[in-house]
Amino acid sequence: MYISADHPLRKLFASLVWKRLYDDAQVRDSQIADYVTNLLTEFVHVKNLYKIRNARGKRLEEVGEMLVESHPLLEAASFDREREVRKHIGDYTLFLTGLFPEYVASLPRRGLRLDAFIDYVKAGKESYRIVACFDQFEYKREAPLFARLSDAFELCVFGLNLVKQDLDRFQQEAYLRARSELLS
Averaged pLDDT, 53-65: 92
Q: How confident is the model at residue 61 (pLDDT cuts 50, 70, 90)?
A: very high
Helices (H), the chain: 8-17, 30-42, 46-49, 63-70, 79-99, 101-106, 120-133, 143-151, 153-183
d(CA 148, CA 104): 23
Domain boundaries, the chain: 8-183
Averaged pLDDT, 105-120: 80
pLDDT at 19: 96
